[in-house]
Structure 1
Amino acid sequence: MQRAFRRGYTTVGFIAPMIAGRTGSQQPRLQTLAQLIPPLTHDLHKGDCGRVATIGGCEEYTGAPYFVASAALRLGSDIAHVVCERDAAGAIKGYSPDIIVNPYLRSTRNRDDLPADEAAGRIAALLGKMHAVAAGSGLGTDASILQDVRRAIGAARDRALAIVLDADALALVADTPDIIRGYRNAVLTPNAPEFARLAKALGVGAAAEAGGKELPMDEAAKQVAQRLGGVTVVCKGKADVITNGDRVFVCSEAGGLRRCGGQGDILAGALLAFLAWGERYKRRAWTVRPASDAIEDALVPMHAAFAACMLTRHASFLAYEECSRAVMSTSVLEQIDIAFDNKFEDLLKALRPSTA
């Protein structure tokens, strides 16, 4: 009964205006975002709606990659892998039989892990089958694990995969920006402290601070994206600022009032699903209708990021409506598919009426 009520709820009107006075700030239409979503037909095969992987998960942090993979699956991805440290694999397998767990990441404390080259080869082979990959959730700070992730990011770039970098992977970018610089098929999703570290590493805001001023968030985000060569940056906050250094989207969809850990991982999973669909969209795996709502290939990461932010915030809103202060990230995860239906179900029916 509860789910039926939630599925009847909609908050289309909650999308707030752009940041006033900022150049280039705008919002995509729901009809345009819907173009990224693959139509469900009887002609589909396993994997056609997205094969995704998330790289993360160590002995201490097993929930984060689970949230990423589960969010992608609940939104409609067909297959989700987790590439993690061996000590995390059993726990993640126990959370869900729907997730394929690959214990390839090497830890400095595990002497019987795979040799470095073999681990890198297995990860690269897996990535060759994916449409999109996320890295960072639950990585921790182990030097061997981080080295494997550096190599995995390079392998993903070599295969032109869409990439989401979140959490601990953002520290890698701050330390070595060239691992992602110039790769326009990447999306970074920093929270406020992570963004501050990135901005400092790239010298963004230093001149303004010296003059006693602080850059507005949208301008600072644009400069970070520019100095990283056009990657898409999602600055998570009261409003989510999304930019590729040229255009700016601002998502102010109403969210819940709880800030429990794990919601950023759900966002990463939602983004992973939309980026995977975006790769299929670029290959014109389905017909765009109407043509006026077509998305330029270069802007797919921006639109995927906005859609993911909108749905995650709405799922948070629904979870808070139901659970109030008791909200956990599992509560938000349980609402992510309902948030999708609230935003897109009727619209998809109108865009793609049944031919039966």
Structure 2
Amino acid sequence: MAIPRKLFEQIKQLIPPLNGTLHKGQSGRVGVLGGALDYTGAPFFAAIAALRFGADLSHVICSPTAANAIKSYSPDLIVHPILRQDSTPEKVRSELDGLLSRLHVLVIGPGLGREDYMQSYARLALSLARAQGMFVVLDADALYMVGKDVDVIKGYRRAVVTPNIVEFKRLSESVGVDPDTPAEERAMEVSRALGGVTVLQKGAKDLIAVDTTGEEASLRESKLESADAEKEKAQEKVEVDVEGGLKRCGGQGDILSGSVGTFLAWGKCYETGAFGDNSIPTSRFPLLAAVGGSMVTRTASRRAFQREGRGVVTEDMIPEIGKSFAEVFGDKAQGQDQGKL
């Protein structure tokens, strides 16, 4: 199924130009919240993917037990070991709030884990992000958090959730989707139950769905959306069947969350006038980011698999991200050529 031409062109409009007009930070400042004692690879993959995708700056907000390992993986990442087990959300609130105010998007979940203190920090970060009107991506154990309390994200249309098959089943059950609902309609039902949150259901084909018909997603009641967004479709579903790799090793979802996060960061820069003509409603950014991130990630997976075969690991995808971006969007890092549909 080809991506609709109009949608593809809108995605390309969110790509910052490389023509010397932008300064550092105007092509995206991405934050990744996650990383505890047992999980250091996932936040690294999400954060480094953001840089390879084209973000200017990438921050990792993590536990001190994960910080040194993550720092050793790449000097390009900015690591903040502020999620201390011996502290409390109340004590960390001010530091975390100030840090988020410097970012365009927050990716919550890679390497988060399910320990109570990390889950508490994730809830706090999501609350602060919502208060600031930030775009957010929720993946991995952030979805476990949502499953336990749907209200933490319900109705927040600047959010994208990226569940895999197991996470999607749990999320569907948590929001009360009828198990007899046809498989191809469940993502839309989850989006509706979450009040218009964009759902990126990962699988053999990625399915992106957003339903804004519910009362929770009423644009007239939202202070974050412009009036022209009301003209957009109440329901939209896009299937991304771009060829991916045949090996589904752990960590590829983290590459995706970092990629989607970067597109959302670009959307924020576009919204604030750093580039572009501001003709795309802000309400469409999550859908566009999910589709664009999916297309590039699947392409990077295919390219890495073609090179490494059965032995492919997620690290093999990192050097393929930039090349995959060029393959999908046909740019020479300017995002202005025709691209490949």
| Structure-2-length-normalised TM-score | 0.88
Distance 1:53 1:350, change over 3 A: closer
With 29-38 and 134-143 compared, the bigger mean Cα shift is at 29-38
CA apart distance, 1:69: 0.5
Residue 239 of structure 2 corresponds to residue 250 of structure 1: yes
Residue 116 of structure 2 is matched in structure 1 by: 143
Residue 176 of structure 2 corresponds to residue 224 of structure 1: no
Amino acid at match of 1:193: V
Residue 38 of structure 2 corresponds to residue 60 of structure 1: yes
Name the CA distance, whole Å, in 2 between partners of 1:299 and 1:43. Answer: 25
Amino acid at match of 1:81: H
Residue 270 of structure 1 is matched in structure 2 by: 259
Name the CA distance, whole Å, in 2 between partners of 1:271 and 1:62. Answer: 20
Give RMSD over aligned pairs: 1.9
- Corresponding residue SS for 1:82: strand
Give CA deviations for 1:287-316 in whole Å, capped at 9, x if unaligned: 34xx9xx53321111011000000000000
Overall identity of the aligned pairs, in % = 42
Residue 341 of structure 1 is matched in structure 2 by: 326
Distance 1:221 1:352, change over 3 A: closer
Runs (4+) of structure 1 exceeding 3 A deviation are 26-30, 113-116, 345-353
- The count of residues paired between Structure 1 and Structure 2 equals 315
Give CA deviations for 1:232-276 in whole Å, capped at 9, x if unaligned: 000000111101121101100000100100000000000110000
Residue 36 of structure 2 corresponds to residue 51 of structure 1: no
Distance 1:319 1:304, change over 3 A: same
Extract unaligned runs of 5+ from structure 1.
1-15, 19-25, 108-112, 209-214
Distance 1:116 1:349, change over 3 A: closer
Name the CA distance, whole Å, in 2 between partners of 1:285 and 1:82. Answer: 24
1:93-108 to 2 correspondence within 5 Å?
A: 93-107=71-85
CA apart distance, 1:348: 6.8
With 160-169 and 39-48 compared, the bigger mean Cα shift is at 39-48
Residues 255 and 297 in structure 2, CA contact (< 8 A), matched pair in contact too: yes
1:139-288 to 2 correspondence within 5 Å?
A: 139-206=112-179, 208=180, 215-245=181-211, 246-288=235-277
CA apart distance, 1:352: 7.7
Give CA deviations for 1:319-356 in whole Å, capped at 9, x if unaligned: 01111111100011221111011122438768389xxx
Distance 1:318 1:148, change over 3 A: same
Residue 106 of structure 2 corresponds to residue 128 of structure 1: no
Name the CA distance, whole Å, in 1 between partners of 2:114 and 2:88. Answer: 19
Amino acid at match of 1:300: F
| Structure-1-length-normalised TM-score | 0.84
The structure whose Rg is larger is: 1
Residue 23 of structure 1 is matched in structure 2 by: none
Residue 299 of structure 2 corresponds to residue 314 of structure 1: yes
Distance 1:167 1:28, change over 3 A: farther
Residues 18 and 333 in structure 2, CA contact (< 8 A), matched pair in contact too: no
With 224-233 and 339-348 compared, the bigger mean Cα shift is at 339-348
CA apart distance, 1:39: 0.6
CA apart distance, 1:122: 1.1
Residues 17 and 334 in structure 2, CA contact (< 8 A), matched pair in contact too: no
Residue 86 of structure 1 is matched in structure 2 by: 64
Distance 1:17 1:38, change over 3 A: closer
- Corresponding residue SS for 1:60: coil
Residues 104 and 114 in structure 1, CA contact (< 8 A), matched pair in contact too: no
Name the CA distance, whole Å, in 2 between partners of 1:299 and 1:159. Answer: 19
Extract unaligned runs of 5+ from structure 2.
212-234
